[in-house]
Structure 1
Amino acid sequence: MAATAVTGVAFGAALVASGVYQPAVILDQLTWDNCHMLQAFLTATAASAVITTTAQEIGYAKFSPRSYADRGWFAPYDGNVVGGLALGAGMALSGACPGTVLAQAAVGIRSGYYALGGGLLGGTVWAALVRPSIENNKKKAAAAAAAAAAAAASTASSPATPAKAPLPTNFQSLFGVSNATALVGLEAVFAAIVGASIAVYGPGPEAKISPVLGGLLIGLVQLFSVVARKSLLGVSTLYEDAGDWLLYYTTSASASPAATGGGEKEEPKKVPATNSIIFSVAIFAGARALSLLVPYLGVSASSAAATSAISPAMAALGGFTMALGSRIAGGCTSGHGISGMSLFSVSSYITMAAAFVGGGLVGVLL
């Protein structure tokens, strides 16, 4: 728990120092008016890739690639596409990400409060309505598939349906390359993109420090998380867990058929997780602490950032959309982005590509 809290504090401080928490930085990135966010984001991901690959090569920790968010709609990666689009759309509406909204609220950016409230509502809708619906539909589909397989097996003349090969989960299995080759390739591509964006756009007008330095600071937080927790950064589980806690206190125990005889019996409710909540509170505290200790990196209550033109309704809608989208996708800009992409996870690249498409489309329309 202590390591989780310290990691959260450091992450919150790094978000403020890097400047990527500012609504203008996020909105300008989605419309490609400047690349401050991209420069910090790719630098942090490149640093994380070195850290995660090294930790696994020396046997210190083991991290599996992020799995596909199969929601049973149209493809094994349907949740990554739909959730990513919704995540990006919510970012364009609110000027926030599931993690940066905590830093926004901590430093007093008004739209951040409404976006955070919308995000908590989105997590509750996911936990109470969307997640159960997806699980129920997938159970029905599995039962139908099992029944069809049983019927086919009972017919001697029916040929067996060959099992589908699982989709490759990382670049190594997708392209048939080694870990070292994947790492060198990623570092080279990201370095080229960051270098080109700096040459064309510069560091961005909101930059208090170099976005590359800010990305390296986030990478250092990832290093601490790996060393101290053997776990990677990710924030959006907060919204799901907050929804689960609300349901825990507002619903009765679940009912299930009794083991013997008729009737039903109540099963004890499962206590929701607290790790993501501790981590998120620590992010808020770290962002707040750095903004007070180093006011230059924060915003004043009367600044343009704190009195953003993003309306409360727009911020709340955006927060709702991005939180729900992140849960449909199974991660956000930190979990799928910085962490998942550093593991070369195909699902994470699909999610983040969809997020930039969704955010860009909404950004153009606004």
Structure 2
Amino acid sequence: MNSLLSGAALGAALTASGVFQPSVIVSQLKFENFHMIQAFLTAAAASTCIVTAAQSLGYLKLSPRSFSSVGLFAKWDGNVFGGMLLGTGMMLSGACPGTVLAQVGAGVRSGFYAFQGAVLAGIVWTGFLQPYLSQTPKRLPQSSPEDKKFLTVYGTLGASRTTALVGLELMFAAIIGAAVSFTSLGPEAKISPVVGGLCIGAAQLLSVVLRKSLVGTSTSYEEAGDWFLGVCRGNGGVPKRYNNMLFSAGMIAGAFALTRAVPVFGQVSPTTISPLNAGIGGFLMILGSRIAGGCTSGHGISGLSLFSTSSFITIAATFGAGGFVGLLRG
């Protein structure tokens, strides 16, 4: 029940903030509208304060996200490669692993095609790519205890956690302030993106209180792949885990409930995303998320809150690649 409630809160928050709309994501990656970055960074700033407080009080004990490697050139090459696939998929589909669930709940047509591609990617990851990567000999040395300090940005920089918190919050505030002051919003904004970001932060708080866990969605597609393959194989092979799928189901329900209760939040600005692009984009974003070990919520909101170096790398690669594809597509 806690997973459902937490998921419903996040689904409703993404919908109210407007960042679930395909036009918001596409226009952000084309640098035409800065609605998404305002909501995203506000959510990350709020989440960082919440998580830091919960960790300091001893209520929450979570380690920073580890690096993801595919064994090519660095311990974090999976974060780069996966983030690039995630950003490319976001640009093609106008969705991310979390917002596509809100799109399904709100009845956004392209979201259904992106969701199908996402589920297919979960099956491919679980059944084929993950086993292949786990069995592929790594050409890089494994992490040593001395490498642990590099898991966080403050460890990498040789700074204190407090210094990192203040610096990060000031950076978020400066970017948000510049976006609010020098850019205008489109018709997608039913409420201020900053208020929407605070709503997403509130959903993170609820997840911390109810589950002692942070929000993240891409693992649910991996779980779906486990279930699909388990049913196909038979012999009692159905997996026992399903909490992440419950969280995602809650997100769909939360978006559905909000758009029915307050129809204005379900009004979506038109944007042209073909079923083929939506499906391919949905596939790429989940494959990329699993390679990187997280998505825009798991790395972007939750991972940044833990000062995870891998999350900063992944998000930089995500928005870099998404922006590059956006510029190519005009």
The one-letter amino acid paired with 1:312 is P
Specify the alignment match of 2:266 in structure 1: 298
Specify the alignment match of 1:13 in structure 2: 12
SS, match of residue 203 in structure 2: helix
Specify the alignment match of 1:347 in structure 2: 310
On the 8 A contact 2:45/2:172 being kept in 1, the answer is yes
Specify the alignment match of 1:279 in structure 2: 247
Consecutive unaligned residues of structure 2, counting only runs of 5 or more, are none
1:365 positional shift: 2.0
* Rg comparison, structure with higher value: 1
SS, match of residue 73 in structure 2: coil
SS, match of residue 221 in structure 1: helix
* Whole-Å separation in 1 of the counterparts to 2:109 and 2:327: 23
On the 8 A contact 1:244/1:272 being kept in 2, the answer is no
On the 8 A contact 1:80/1:351 being kept in 2, the answer is yes
The one-letter amino acid paired with 1:334 is S
Consecutive unaligned residues of structure 1, counting only runs of 5 or more, are 147-162, 254-267
Specify the alignment match of 1:69 in structure 2: 68
SS, match of residue 333 in structure 1: coil
Aligned: 1:316 with 2:279: yes
1:296 positional shift: 1.1
On the 8 A contact 1:13/1:286 being kept in 2, the answer is yes
The one-letter amino acid paired with 1:289 is A
On the 8 A contact 2:72/2:139 being kept in 1, the answer is no
* Whole-Å separation in 2 of the counterparts to 1:311 and 1:188: 39
On the 8 A contact 2:223/2:244 being kept in 1, the answer is yes
Specify the alignment match of 1:52 in structure 2: 51
1:198 positional shift: 1.1
* Whole-Å separation in 1 of the counterparts to 2:261 and 2:79: 39
On the 8 A contact 1:27/1:363 being kept in 2, the answer is yes
* Whole-Å separation in 2 of the counterparts to 1:68 and 1:205: 39
Give a deviation string over 1:176-197, Cα, whole Å, max 9, x none.
2222211111110100000001
Identity of aligned residues (%): 54
1:270 positional shift: 6.8
1:304 positional shift: 4.7
Specify the alignment match of 2:256 in structure 1: 288
1:202 positional shift: 2.8
Aligned: 1:199 with 2:181: yes
* Whole-Å separation in 1 of the counterparts to 2:301 and 2:84: 18
1:70 positional shift: 1.7
1:71 positional shift: 2.1
Give a deviation string over 1:146-191, Cα, whole Å, max 9, x none.
9xxxxxxxxxxxxxxxx79426001221122222211111110100
- From 208, 212, 217, the counterpart of 1:230: 212
* Whole-Å separation in 1 of the counterparts to 2:250 and 2:309: 30
Specify the alignment match of 1:334 in structure 2: 297
SS, match of residue 31 in structure 2: coil
Aligned: 1:166 with 2:147: yes
* Whole-Å separation in 2 of the counterparts to 1:304 and 1:219: 24
TM-score w.r.t. length of structure 2: 0.95
The one-letter amino acid paired with 2:58 is G
On the 8 A contact 1:53/1:179 being kept in 2, the answer is no
Specify the alignment match of 1:90 in structure 2: 89
On the 8 A contact 2:121/2:283 being kept in 1, the answer is yes
* Whole-Å separation in 1 of the counterparts to 2:237 and 2:135: 19
1:123 positional shift: 1.0
Task: Count matched residues.
Answer: 327
TM-score w.r.t. length of structure 1: 0.86
The one-letter amino acid paired with 2:310 is S
Aligned: 1:129 with 2:97: no
